[in-house]
Amino acid sequence: MDHSSVTGRQLAAARTLAQMSQAEVAKAANVSVPTLKRMEGASGAVPGMTNNVAAVVRALEDAGVMFIPSNGNGPGVRLRDPT
């Protein structure tokens, strides 16, 4: 998925699905907690440096989250099937 199209709400939802705290995601992505909070607070596309957004998305994907691009019904997230 193109990281530039990820929304703040997707990041927050993904973190919740992965059952991770902001501190855990921030540590896994090597970004600060305030940076992650700003990203999650975005109403649209995530602001910030591209490499930081990519690192957060990668950390959440590593935790089993799949980012679903908008397909006419809006963007979303879901957990990967563990099998």
pLDDT in the model for residue 73:
81
pLDDT in the model for residue 2:
63
pLDDT in the model for residue 27:
98
Q: Which region holds residue 74: left if phi is over 0, alpha if psi is between -120 and 50, else beta?
A: left
- For residues 39-57, b (16+ Cβ closer than 10 Å) or e, as one string? bbebeeebeeeeebbebbb
pLDDT in the model for residue 34:
97
Per-residue pLDDT of the chain (83 residues; tens, 9 = 90+): 566 689 999 999 999 999 999 999 999 999 999 999 999 999 888 988 999 999 999 999 999 999 998 877 888 999 988 76
